[in-house]
């Protein structure tokens, strides 16, 4: 397993693999890897001859008041995890390698990014689409792997790949949870012991929503209303949104008459956490 810092080194390695007729999978990450990322690496290793993991805290997807400076980083730990899961290359560029002086081209998307997280994080998806496009151009993977926890990000990336005829397959992988239900996230490290306990309200409300759907409830407002009531019972929780949307367009829907995504974003103290379920997975 190798760690490289430059675009040129990635290109050289991928070119050598291609010369041998090998397929390449890409797992884009911002590092501080956990079992959620490991499951993406496992899927890529299973599907492809070689796996590249990008490890880059992308400044462009953070708003001015967000946690860019404090976002956790640990390359040594990441390297051990990638190695243990059979990854072949880590691309860990400095910001200047990705965004040189005078950088001024962006990949922006309308509609899908104007809902859910896009409302409270207005610059986020422009940063995600731009960096993911760059990574696709640098690595030229056959397949790229994203977690379903960031369900809107997955939908946005699928849409971008389709809109811009990008020649690769996007694979969405299931949410990985702690034993007590909390969805794995690098941001969980921000939580104090008390907040960590309070954060369980997210997965509890997801479980409740799934239960209601399983029992045949199709009224979106009833489902999100029950989930909202439960989250509001936790004093440390502050809701950003609890919404039922069309799984492809991310537009809010009144009834479960098509594949839907139930998505929530909740602040526990200062930490903003997300969770979700797709009705087709219930």
Residues catalogued as catalytic: 37
Q: Nearest approach, Cβ of 37 to ligand PAF (angstroms)?
A: 8
Coil, strand or helix: which one is 129? Answer: helix
Picking from 97, 4, 99, 100, the residue whose alpha carbon sits closest to that of residue 52 is 4
Q: Nearest approach, Cβ of 279 to ligand PAF (angstroms)?
A: 23
Nearer to ligand PAF, 61 or 205 (CB): 61
Nearer to ligand PAF, 153 or 224 (CB): 153
Q: Nearest approach, Cβ of 256 to ligand PAF (angstroms)?
A: 27
Q: Nearest approach, Cβ of 70 to ligand PAF (angstroms)?
A: 16
Contact residues toward ligand PAF (CB under 6 A) are 28-30, 58, 61, 128, 131-132, 150, 153
Nearer to ligand PAF, 135 or 231 (CB): 135
Q: Which two tokens stand for residue 180?
A: 């007590």
With beta carbons less than 8 A apart as the criterion, state whether 202 and 277 touch.
no
- CA–CA dist 259, 75 (Å, integer): 38
> Torsions phi, psi of 203, nearest 5?
-70, -30
Nearer to ligand PAF, 58 or 203 (CB): 58
β pairing state of 237-246 and 260-268 = antiparallel
Which whole-number Å values give the CA distances from 122 to 38, 63, 102, 262, 270, in the listed order? 29, 8, 22, 21, 18
């Amino acid at each position: 397993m190798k760690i490289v810092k430059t675009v040129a080194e990635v290109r050289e390695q991928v070119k050598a693999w291609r010369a041998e007729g090998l397929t390449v999978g890409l797992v884009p990450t911002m590092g501080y890897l956990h079992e959620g990322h490991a499951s993406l690496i496992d899927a890529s290793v299973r599907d492809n001859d070689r796996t590249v993991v990008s490890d880059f805290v992308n400044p462009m997807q953070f708003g001015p008041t967000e946690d860019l400076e404090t976002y956790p980083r640990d390359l040594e730990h990441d390297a051990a995890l990638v190695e243990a899961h059979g990854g072949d290359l880590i691309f860990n560029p400095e910001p200047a390698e990705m965004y040189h002086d005078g950088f001024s081209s962006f990949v922006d998307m309308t509609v899908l990014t104007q809902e859910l997280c896009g409302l409270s994080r207005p610059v986020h998806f422009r940063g995600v689409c731009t960096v993911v496009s760059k990574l696709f151009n640098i690595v030229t993977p056959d397949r790229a792997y994203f977690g379903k926890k960031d369900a809107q990000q997955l939908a946005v990336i699928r849409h971008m790949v389709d809109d811009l005829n990008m020649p690769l397959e996007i694979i969405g992988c299931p949410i990985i949870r702690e034993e007590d239900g909390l969805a794995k996230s690098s941001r969980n490290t921000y939580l104090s012991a008390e907040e960590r306990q309070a954060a369980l309200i997210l997965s509890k409300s997801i479980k409740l929503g799934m239960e209601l759907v399983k029992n045949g409830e199709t009224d979106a407002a009833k489902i999100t209303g029950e989930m909202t009531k439960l989250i509001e019972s936790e004093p440390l929780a502050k809701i950003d949104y609890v919404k039922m949307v069309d799984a492809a367009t991310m537009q809010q829907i009144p009834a479960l008459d098509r594949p839907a995504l139930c998505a929530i974003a909740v602040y526990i103290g200062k930490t903003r956490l997300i969770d979700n379920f797709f009705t087709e997975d219930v």
